[in-house]
Structure formats: structure tokens, C-alpha cells
């Protein structure tokens, strides 16, 4: 059985100024649904840093990401994409003595964030979220490692370990970028590729 991940977006502070999230009630309601997502930040030299995740309420999860960054509770990067703030307690205590600098860094990095997402549907169920997240993480890591061998990591969260899967879990996953604008389709295409994702990716037998 195959599942299409129909990608939508972007939303977030890194989009058009003044319109980080949609005003359309239907689109806004969609963001409160379950699905997988990519959090993407772009830095100098078009360096791209990605985070693949999942949530039963996407908007709530997006809010958590941004709150953590703006409250100095998450790693922050400079304009070149290098981690210059770790987000742990020791870093925050140090930052309290230079709040103007620290909050400016947080605002700058949060301002780069864009989210793309694919909603659960009749074939992509909530019990498949962990599986889909792991496939996305491994696909991005494999493609970026091949494109930049020996370079710095571009996936911010670790690869999810395969868990127990039901017998009827979909074995083929297809990324559908047809609803995206040209720039978004290229960006996600660079990260995820055109090839289907399969369960073998979670056992190390495929990329």
C-alpha cells in the first residue's frame, strides 16, 4: 500500500512580512490537524537547515518551536548557520547578562523559520506519524550527506528509531509537491528528492 504526503505551505515568520499564518479559516483549521512537517531555515550562502517532525496538532507544535527559540530554550544560529547559543540552562544564565544581544539573536533566527506540512488523511493515519517522521529524517540526512560529504549536519533532529509497526503499515511513501509554488517545490525537492520512500530506509537498506 502506498501513501501520498501532499505538501502544503509555507507558513511561519520566514514567510511574507505580516502574514506568517493564513487568515483563511479553512487553511487555519487545517493547521490544527495531525500531520508531518518540515521546519526549514535558510542562511547565508543558501545554507539550509531542516528539522522533520510530526504532531497531532501541527499549529501547536509550530508554536512550541517558536516559543522555545524566543525564550532562549533552544539552540540558535548566527547568520552563517552556525550554532552560537546552545539553549541550555548555563547558556541562558549567561545570556541574562546580555539580554539585548541574546534576544536579537533569537528574533533573527526565529524570523528565518518556515514550515511545510502534509496532513493525515484516509490513508495516512495518526498511528503512522512516527514512521513518516523517521522516513523524512532519514531521507533528508541521506540526500544532504551525499550532496555535501563531510560537511556539517543539516538535519537538526536525530533519526527516529523504528518502532513496532502494525501489519498493514504502508510500505511506499510518495512526496507530492504539486500544490506548492515553484520555489517551495524546488526546496522540498532538494531536501526529499523525487524518489519514493520505503520501509527499507528504516533498516539501513535504502536511502
Chain segment 127-150, per-residue pLDDT in tens:
899 999 999 999 998 888 777 665
For residue 49, is it within any domain? yes
For residue 125, is it within any domain? yes
pTM as predicted: 0.91
For residue 26, is it within any domain? no
For residue 62, is it within any domain? yes
For residue 25, is it within any domain? no
The answer for residues whose C-beta is within 8 angstroms of residue 28's C-beta and 6 or more apart is 21, 22, 59
Report pLDDT for 190. Answer: 93
For residue 27, is it within any domain? no
Q: Find the domain containing 78 and state its range.
A: 2-20+33-203
For residue 7, is it within any domain? yes
Total domains present in the chain: 1
Confidence of residue 28 (pLDDT cuts 50, 70, 90): confident
For residue 28, is it within any domain? no
Amino acid at each position: 500500500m502506498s501513501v501520498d504526503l501532499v505538501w502544503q505551505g509555507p507558513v511561519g515568520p520566514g514567510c511574507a512580512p505580516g502574514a506568517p499564518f493564513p487568515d483563511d479559516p479553512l487553511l487555519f483549521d487545517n493547521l490544527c490537524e495531525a500531520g508531518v512537517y518540515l521546519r526549514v531555515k535558510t542562511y547565508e550562502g543558501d545554507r539550509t537547515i531542516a528539522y522533520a517532525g510530526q504532531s497531532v496538532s501541527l499549529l501547536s507544535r509550530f508554536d512550541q518551536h517558536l516559543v522555545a527559540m524566543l525564550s532562549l530554550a533552544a539552540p540558535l544560529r548566527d547568520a552563517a548557520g552556525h550554532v552560537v547559543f546552545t539553549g541550555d540552562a548555563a547558556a541562558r544564565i549567561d545570556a541574562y547578562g546580555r539580554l539585548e544581544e541574546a534576544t536579537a539573536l533569537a528574533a533573527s533566527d526565529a524570523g528565518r523559520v518556515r514550515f511545510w506540512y502534509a496532513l493525515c488523511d484516509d490513508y495516512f493515519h495518526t498511528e503512522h506519524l512516527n514512521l513518516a517522521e523517521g522516513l523524512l529524517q532519514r531521507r533528508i540526512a541521506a540526500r544532504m550527506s551525499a550532496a555535501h560529504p563531510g560537511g556539517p549536519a543539516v538535519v537538526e533532529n536525530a533519526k527516529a528509531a523504528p518502532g513496532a509497526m502494525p501489519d498493514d503499515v504502508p510500505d511506499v511513501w510518495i512526496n507530492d509537491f504539486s500544490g506548492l509554488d515553484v520555489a517551495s517545490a524546488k526546496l522540498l525537492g532538494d531536501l526529499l528528492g523525487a524518489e519514493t520512500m520505503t520501509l527499507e530506509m528504516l533498516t539501513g537498506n535504502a536511502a
